[in-house]
Structure 1
Amino acid sequence: MAEGVMKKVLLSYAYVAVWIFLSFTVIVYNKYILDPKMYGWPFPISLTIIHMTFCSALAFLLVRVLRLVAPPASPPMTRPLYLSSVVPIGALYSLSLWFSNSAYIYLSVSFIQMLKALMPVAVYSISVLFRKEAFKSSSMLNMLSISFGVAIAAYGEARFVGAGVVLQLAAVAFEATRLVLIQILLTSKGVSLNPITSLYYVAPCCLAFLLVPWSMVELPVLRDRLAASAFRPDILIFGTNSLCAFALNLAVFLLVGKTSALTMNVAGVVKDWLLIAFSWSVIRDIVTSINLFGYAIAFLGVAYYNYVKLQALKAKEAQKKAAQADEESGKLLDQVNGGSNRRNDSHN
């Protein structure tokens, strides 16, 4: 028994480690590609399109050609369900990826991670707005503490660029809305998608939405640069970058499937601190003491948010077990009463 528990714990840590490593790699890799001072490919929509094309092709191969992953059978993904549920989620996903990748051109990795601490605030606010969660004063105070911490971190940022901050905050807002809509449009209808089937349905839709701004904003500039031979994209760099992005989706599936979404949230906090340390020590981004003080406040707020979620999850599990115990007791009582009644009937 102890051996089995230890194996399960070690596997959980392994899933967390793989997810942190891949998430870390994708973030740093995207920063390297997009930052004008590094690789110097300042085309975030193009990079996102490359990711979505690669993910769409690989997901199609796994689902339709090799049939290693089955699409959801109950309920089936009908055309009306796709148009009403997947298309809005794909549109939000395209905006989230576009804006978050654009932020890497202007902001440091460490500061972007600090701004991402606002995700619980955005998810809670939008959940209240869509009436998926009840408004609570204690929750709002927690959200305000996170926001206050991020505001201090922003105040102490040495490389504060307004355009980058607006882009990252917009990315957080779109991603939070997407997460809430997944619950409303898919989960509530009983549709459960793992990352591969999610990419199979969402990535082509996301790609279609991205082609519109890309054709107007980036395509003319790219065409001129390529015609002048001023820049030639490295297939190895973009290929391995896309492969890392796809592998990250698999890691999410393993982590959430084998542990829980809450575990990923907690692991995300660890990953953020590692990225801040990496950004300061290796990339040589300036991280001020005010940055760290503000993010520490936000970190405590996020940690408390995760703690409250954990307690709610435990209470829900306990309630479920109690209901099951009551149901089993009721069945046992019915069996006893049924047996007693049969004996009385035979005596009469």
Structure 2
Amino acid sequence: MSRDLYVSSVVPIGALYSLSLWFSNSAYIYLSVSFIQMLKALIPVAVYAIGVGLKKEVFKSDVMANMITISVGVAIAAYGEVHFSVWGVFFQLSAVAFEATRRISLNPITSLYYVAPCCLAFLSIPWFYVEFPIVRETSSFHFNFPILSSNSLCAFGLNLAVFLLVGKTSALTMNVAGVVKDWLLIAFSWSFIRDTVTVVNLVGYGIAFLGVCYYNHSKYLALKSAEEKNSTQATNEEAVTRLKQTEIHAANKSKDGGQC
């Protein structure tokens, strides 16, 4: 990859990715794991809104109604949150916005190869000015290599699993699996971490969950329709090609018979 292409394509993605990581990790200081997963249901809303704003998506009233349903569900879940924090919600919503903006068509392994060094450079800036002074003043801090290395291996394993899942199935399957993962994380945080999950939380997230399922179903139908259309078009083009070849063959045969 040339330097100009790297600067114009990878550097902006690395900046957005680093902001997404920074804000999403900061949200865990203020919010529970379960509530953060509920807020992540807004990712389809952010993707669609940014896509319409950048004219990458076509505005449709039914899709917008679905996005509003998801937003209302998340708002109800936020209303029922016991440990609500304005700063935590701000950080997580900012992370959702940056995550939606940085969406690219590269697979996770290729993304890591190009984006990770750039992302590290961007993340070193807030680390040096925000976190390093705290680390320097805290004499009890020590670098725990086993925990950080095992965490890194889990993160890499996650990206590899996503790569294999998308390669064997589709990106839509990964989105559906992500919804199941959110429910499992909420159950895990409630049962093991002992996060407080209220009935209002579950009702609100249930509404958002149904909206996300409908969104994924609509994307599946649109993808299936596009595949059928492309298949029909390819079949028609193949039939036209065969007809032309038959006509040419008949014309050549007639010409050869006339010459005889």
Bin for the TM-score computed over the shorter chain? over 0.9
The amino acid of 1:95's aligned partner reads: L
1:263 aligned to 2:173?
A: yes
TM-score (norm 1): 0.73
Which amino acid counterpart does residue 148 of structure 2 have in structure 1? F
Q: Distance in 1 between matches of 2:185 and 2:75?
A: 19
- Answer with 118-127 or 322-331: which moved more: 322-331
Do structure 1's residue 291 and structure 2's residue 215 form an aligned pair?
no
Secondary structure at the aligned position of 1:233 is classed as: coil
Deviations 1:82-107 (A, max 9, x none): 10010000000000001101111111
C-alpha RMSD of matched pairs (Å): 1.0
Q: Which residue, out of 42, 50, 58, partners 1:134?
A: 58
Q: Displacement of 1:260 after TM fit?
A: 0.7
Which of 208, 223, 236 aligns to 2:121? It is: 208
Query: 1:166 — aligned with what?
Result: 90
After superposing the two structures, state which structure 1 stretch, 169-178 or 231-240, moved more.
Answer: 231-240
Q: Tell me the residue number matched to 2:253.
A: 343
Report deviation, 1:197. Answer: 2.5
Which residue, out of 162, 174, 182, partners 1:252?
A: 162
Map 1:302-321 → 2, pairs under 5 A: 302-321=212-231
> Partners of 1:94 and 1:165 in 2: how far apart?
18
1:168 Cα deviation from its structure 2 partner: 0.4
From 147, 152, 164, the counterpart of 1:237: 147
CA displacement at 1:336 relative to structure 2 = 1.2
Match status 1:195 vs 2:113: no
1:194 CA drift (Å): 3.1
Deviation >3 Å, runs of 4+: none
Q: Secondary structure at the match of 2:16?
A: helix
Cα deviation digits, residues 166-201 of structure 1 (max 9, x gap): 10000000000101xx2xxxx5xxxxx432232121
1:299 Cα deviation from its structure 2 partner = 0.4
SS in 1 for 2:249: helix
Larger radius of gyration: 2
Q: CA deviation at 1:278?
A: 1.0
Task: Please give the secondary structure, in 2, of the residue aligned with 1:117.
Answer: helix
State the aligned residue count: 258
Residue 218 of structure 1: aligned partner: 131
Q: Distance in 1 between matches of 2:47 and 2:107?
A: 21
Match of 2:5 among 61, 64, 81: 81
Does 2:24 correspond to 1:100?
yes
Quick one: distance in 1 between partners of 2:13 and 2:250?
Answer: 58
Q: Distance in 1 between matches of 2:126 and 2:185?
A: 30
Deviations 1:42-65 (A, max 9, x none): xxxxxxxxxxxxxxxxxxxxxxxx
| Structure 1 residue 231, shift from structure 2 partner | 2.3
State how far apart, in whole Å, the 2-side matches of 1:196 and 1:121 are: 26
Unaligned stretches of 5+ in structure 1? 1-76, 188-192
Give secondary structure in 2 for the equivalent of 1:88.
Answer: helix
The letter of the residue matching 1:329 is: A
- Give me the TM-score of the superposition, normalised by structure 2: 0.97
Separation of aligned partners in 1, 2:20 and 2:227: 33
Identity rate, percent: 67
Aligned to 1:149: 73
Displacement of 1:214 after TM fit? 1.2
CA distance in 1, matches of 2:73, 2:107: 34
How much does 1:213 deviate?
Answer: 1.4
Distance 1:200 1:318 in 2: 35
Partner deviation per Cα, 1:22-69 (whole Å, 9 max, x = no partner):
xxxxxxxxxxxxxxxxxxxxxxxxxxxxxxxxxxxxxxxxxxxxxxxx
Render the CA deviation track for 1:10-31: whole Å, top value 9, x for unaligned.
xxxxxxxxxxxxxxxxxxxxxx
Give the distance between the partners of 1:247 and 1:160, measured in 2 at CA: 32
Give, in whole Å, the separation in 1 of the partners of 2:255 and 2:163. Answer: 57
